[in-house]
Amino acid sequence: MVALQSIEDELFLSKVSIFRGHKLIVDEISFRLPAGGICLIQGPNGAGKTSLLRVVAGFLPASAGVLSLGAHLFNPIKSILPIWYIGAPFGFHPSLTAAKNLSQIASMRNLSLPIDDSFRIKDFADQPLRTLSSGQLQRLALSQLLLRKDSYTPDLWLLDEPNSALDSYHCLILETMIEEHLRSGGRVIAATHQPLCEHLSPEIIQLEARK
């Protein structure tokens, strides 16, 4: 009798290495992420932070190593664990308005629009996306995480530099949002240069730059 995979199981990256061409970027990184856990990937430019996130997201196959959820292999594309990858480019179409872009994403994932407008999307909802500043774009991207569904599932958030263009007010909003998400059993992996959620003492994965 095989135990069924549960959404609450621990996510485990075991000795994940990534090659780009012949160059080793990420060398045997391992970490565990239980439900309600947060993990920050840090390191200088070119250390492979985004690549590692993209491996967890399933965009890039790991050159070596295993991803597992509980006792089973973790396939991000067909996983029972819903994934949100928030990193530039954000997947919005520049000639549609901000509101239109958000509502399209919502209907594609069968979600409904958030009631509370924490990231103040209303300020620029009717502007075509190409007229938005990078901070506004980031706010729009992060507000995807606020889309609601009928029954709650503890999603996995993969955030690539989530606060790089945010002002201090919205940084605070983001931290509160992450805190709430973790409290309800969600998980967060973030690649960042700036401090994020330090009061939650996240697990830190330090990547080194390779020559």
Partner 1 sequence: MILIFWEYFKREFEISISQATDILSQIGFFMWIMVLFPLALGPDPDQLKQFGIAIIWIAAFVSIVPAYERLFSDDYTHGFIEKALHNAQPLGCYAAAKCFCFYLVTTVPLLIILPLICLMIGINSSLYFEIALSLLLGMLGMTLLGGIASGLVLGARRAAILGAVLILPLSLPILIFGTMSGLALMESEPIKPHLYLLIALDLCLIVISIPAMQLGLKNAIENDS
Residue partners of 90: CB distance under 8 A and separation at least 6: 137, 138, 140, 141
The piece of 35-43, 97-105, 115-123, 169-177 that touches partner 1 (CB under 8 A) is 97-105
| DSSP 8-state secondary structure symbol assigned to residue 129 | G
Tell me the site size for partner 1, rule CB under 8 A: 31
How far is the C-alpha of 24 from the C-alpha of 105, rounded, in Å?
Answer: 35
Mark 100-129 with x for binding to partner 1 (rule: CB under 8 A) and - for no binding. x---xx-xxxx-------------------
Q: Is there a contact between 95 and 130 (Cβ–Cβ < 8 Å)?
A: yes
Among 38, 67, 84, 139, binds partner 1 (CB under 8 A): 84
Long-range contacts of 99-103 (CB under 8 A, 24+ apart): 99/125, 99/126, 101/129, 101/140, 102/140, 102/143, 102/144, 102/147
Q: What are the phi and psi torsion angles at 79 (to 5°)?
A: -80, 155
46 binds partner 1 (CB under 8 A): no
Mark 49-78 with x for binding to partner 1 (rule: CB under 8 A) and - for no binding. -xx--x--xxxxx--------------xx-
96 binds partner 1 (CB under 8 A): yes
142 binds partner 1 (CB under 8 A): no
- C-beta closer to partner 1: residue 52 or 190: 52
CB of 58 to partner 1, least distance (A): 7
Beta strand 187-191 with 38-42: parallel, antiparallel or unpaired?
A: parallel
Give contact residues for partner 1 (rule: CB under 8 A).
Answer: 50-51, 54, 57-61, 76-77, 82-85, 87-96, 100, 104-105, 107-110
